[in-house]
Structure 1
Amino acid sequence: MSGIYRVAERAMGMNGATWARHANPWSVYTRFTMLPLLALAIWSRVWVGGWAWAGLLAVMIWVWVNPRAFPPPASLDNWASRGVLGERVFLKRPDEVAAHHRHWAALLSAASLPGALIMAVGLWRLDAVWTVFGTILMMVPKIWFVDRMNWVYADWLRQTGKELGNV
C-alpha cells in the first residue's frame, strides 16, 4: 500500500519546499473542499453540458496547486501541520513508522472506497442524497488519516528526537 502513496506523491510533484508549504493549515483545510468541488463539477453537466469538463479541469488544477498555494506556516504547532509532517515521515521513512500506524493508514485509505462507489452512483443517477452521503463517507476516513498522521509524527519525534528538517 505504501507504494500507492509514493506514486501519488511523485504524481503531485511534491518536494521539500512543497511539503513545507502544504504544512500550512490553510492548505490542509482547503484540501477538504476537493471532493465536494469534484462532485459539483460532475453534477454541473446537468446545467452546463460539456462545459462541465472545464469545471472538472479547474478542480484537477486546484488539486495540484493547493499544496503550493500558501506560504510555509509561521508555526507547525497545530493539528493540520502535524498531520502533514506525519505524512511526510510516513512516506519518507516508512521503516521508522510503527506497524500499527501502517496498518491503520492502509485501512483508512481502503475505507474511503465504499464512499467513492456510493458517490459515483449518486452522480450517475443525479441523486443528491447518495452523492452527499458518498462524499461524506470518503471524507471521514481522510480526516481520520490526517489525525493518524499526527500520531505518527508524535511517535516519530519521541523515538528519534528529530525535527522536520531532518526528515
Structure 2
Amino acid sequence: MKAASIREIKHELNNMPQGELIELCLKMSKFKKENKELLTYLLFEANNEANYIESIKEEMDVQFANINLKSAYFAKKSIRKIQRMVKKFIKYSKHKETEVELLIYFCIHLNKVNTLLGKSLALRNINLRQIATIRKTITYLHEDLQYDYKIELDEIAAKV
C-alpha cells in the first residue's frame, strides 16, 4: 500500500465531518504510543510550554536518578535512552527555546553523571555533541535569549 501525500490527506480531512475526524484521531492514538503522546501534547500541553518543559525535566530527573553507575557501559546505555526521550519530546514541541532549555538541562545532568563515573570518554563525546547542537540552535533565537543561553552554555562547556 502506498501512502497518500500530505496534500491529499489534508484535502480528505477537510471534507470529513467532525465526528469522523474524532474517530480517526482516536484510532491513531490507539495505534502507536508516539501518536498518543503527540496528541496529548497538542491538546493539553501546547498552550502552556513552561509546564511542558517542567514535566519533561521532572521525567529526566527520575531517569537520571535510576542510572546504573556501576559501569560506564550501562550508564551510557541509560543516557542514550534519556537522550532519545528528550529528542522525541523536542520534536513534538518544535520551539527552539524548548529545545535549548531541555538540552542544557540534559547536559547539566550528564556532567554530574560523568563526574561520578570518573570522566568517561563516551559520555564526554555525547556531551560535546549536545553542546554543538545547542550552539547551532541558539543562533535561531532572539538576541537577548542568545546571550543568556550562551552564558549558561559556556559554564557547562567549561566543566566538560
Q: TM-score, normalised by structure 2?
A: 0.25
Larger Rg: 2
Q: TM-score, normalised by structure 1?
A: 0.25
